[in-house]
Amino acid sequence: MKGRFLVLCIAAVFIAGCVSQENKPANPELKRQWSEELWQKRHTFPDRIWEDSKTTFTEPNNLWLLGMAGAASIVMHNNGADDDIQDSVEHHRAIDGFFSESLNWIGNPGTHFAVTGLWYALAVDANDKLNENRAWTMMTALSINGLVTASLKAVRDNTTPNHDKWAWPSGHTSSSFCVAAVLDEFYGPKVGIPAYVAASFVGYRMIEEGDHWASDVVFGAALGWAVGHSVAGKHMNLEIAGFDLMPMPPTQTGEPTAGISFVKQF
């Protein structure tokens, strides 16, 4: 329990740092306006999930990556590589006790959804539209990743080394790599690289504890990466009321301008 509390505190501090400190708390009228906006998002969220899913799974590079990862996981499971890796990590344990429990909690999809909800709430309270949009994008990516992961688990329905059901792919791994990919898109390698390292530790921990085969982790990592980068890349621009917030373009004579413009494609 101490480990989980510590991780939650670290996550809260990180998210609070992402939210702009220069913005003042929203007044009641503005909060009412955002409540209405959130209610509207609730009704449009399924459409956003569908559109972003199509973007993710019709991208040729993503299809190639997932196809290769899927083929690799099949080969690993059928030729005995999974068993060999499992035996090796069990005899050379590197993660145990507090570290193992912390990684299990850090990589839990439920933790990711809860922290993202906290991120969104802090952004709304600070009137920070940039982080509000980023948190909503993270929520979209996690939802797509979670739905696809659960669907594949139900279809494959194989067992883990610990004899639990629904092994492939690893949900902890796919969700952790999804988070890392979104953070990498938004904040670059200074945040992305540590996030990928943490996601890799989560995947290794799942193998070492017998919660997943190595093939489950390989495909989970590929799935999370593809979903996270595709969704975050699509929503990099700040969106307000359906319009992308963009820098003001130069004049026809090429002179630079200062300001912002609202752009929407019909």
Helix (H, G, I), strand (E, B) or coil at 240: strand
The pLDDT of residue 90: 82
The pLDDT of residue 43: 73
The pLDDT of residue 254: 53
The pLDDT of residue 45: 87
Query: Which residues of the chain fall short of a pLDDT of 50?
Result: 1-10, 12-14, 16, 20-26, 239-242, 244-246, 248, 258-266
105: tokens are 């909690």
Question: Which domains occur in the chain, in start order?
Answer: 2-11+53-235 (1.20.144)
Amino acid identity of residue 140, one-letter, is: T
The pLDDT of residue 125: 82
pTM: 0.79
The pLDDT of residue 250: 56
The pLDDT of residue 256: 52
The pLDDT of residue 74: 95
The pLDDT of residue 2: 45
